[in-house]
């Protein structure tokens, strides 16, 4: 199933850290190889339009690639409930230190977290650490459907696929495998 655009990619544009991580579509190439958005100018242009953060959309390719590597390593480990590999953890820790957060209490007495500056790359690194080791880690999954491999946050405990389309494709693939036996 060759991939021509990102229209059928509902996961792009939800949060910067997932936008960075979900730039490789597993097994979606002509020969069943992975499609790397960073290596496909048309798909990259489409990605830059869809992402939610303008600073992220404008990040140079080299910076994106450099940021993506430890983010994907960390999320991949976290989605398998495995410990974060040391080098990726060290890299993300160092980057995240450049995007501190502060806290303030608003007029209604609510405690709120506030970004206190830093680049979008540093903010994405912090989000990756929070996702990989914070309370949402239990909901972090990697979609096992054919032509996907996206990281997503499960909305239900038994949610196996990132989207309805992926669930349908995975079931169809399973049926055709059974027929071939
Ligand atoms: Zn999927």
| Ligand 1 mean position, distance from CA 22 (Å) | 10
| Ligand 1 mean position, distance from CA 152 (Å) | 8
Among 51, 21, 56, 53, which Cα is nearest to 36's? Answer: 21
**Mean of the pLDDT values across residues 149-162?**
93
- Whether 64 shows a pLDDT value over 90: the answer reads yes
Among 64, 67, 63, 78, which Cα is nearest to 133's? Answer: 78
Among 53, 92, 63, which Cα is nearest to 75's? Answer: 92
Domains in the chain and their CATH numbers?
Answer: 16-180 (1.10.3300.10)
CA dist., res. 93 & res. 129, Å (int)? 8
Residues with C-beta atoms within 5 A of ion ligand 1 = 143, 145, 148, 150, 162, 166
- Give, as one character, the DSSP assignment of residue 32: S
| Ligand 1 mean position, distance from CA 92 (Å) | 26
**Cα distances (angstroms) measured from residue 67 to each of 84, 92, 105:** 16, 9, 32
- Whether 35 shows a pLDDT value over 50: the answer reads yes
pLDDT band at 5 (very low <50, low <70, confident <90, very high): low
pLDDT, position 55: 95
- Whether 76 shows a pLDDT value over 80: the answer reads yes
pTM: 0.89
| Ligand 1 mean position, distance from CA 68 (Å) | 19
Question: pLDDT tens digit string along 40-51?
Answer: 998 899 899 999
**Mean of the pLDDT values across residues 142-153?**
93
pLDDT, position 174: 85
**Mean of the pLDDT values across residues 135-164?**
93
pLDDT band at 1 (very low <50, low <70, confident <90, very high): very low
């Amino acid at each position: 199933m060759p991939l021509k655009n990102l229209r059928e990619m509902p996961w792009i544009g939800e949060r910067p850290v997932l936008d960075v991580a979900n730039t490789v579509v597993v097994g979606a190439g002509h020969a069943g190889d992975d499609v790397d958005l960073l290596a496909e100018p048309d798909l990259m242009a489409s990605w830059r339009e869809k992402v939610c953060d303008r600073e992220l959309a404008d990040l140079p390719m080299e910076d994106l690639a450099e940021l993506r590597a430890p983010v994907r390593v960390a999320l991949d480990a976290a989605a398998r409930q495995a410990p974060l590999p040391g080098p990726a953890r060290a890299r993300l820790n160092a980057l995240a230190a450049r995007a501190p957060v502060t806290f303030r209490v608003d007029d209604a007495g609510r405690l709120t977290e506030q970004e206190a500056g830093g680049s979008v790359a540093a903010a994405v690194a912090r989000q990756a650490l929070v996702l990989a080791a914070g309370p949402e880690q239990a909901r972090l999954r990697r979609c096992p459907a054919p032509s996907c491999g996206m990281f997503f946050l499960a909305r239900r405990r038994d949610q196996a696929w990132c989207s309805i389309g992926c669930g349908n494709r995975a079931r169809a693939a399973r049926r055709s495998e059974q027929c071939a036996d």
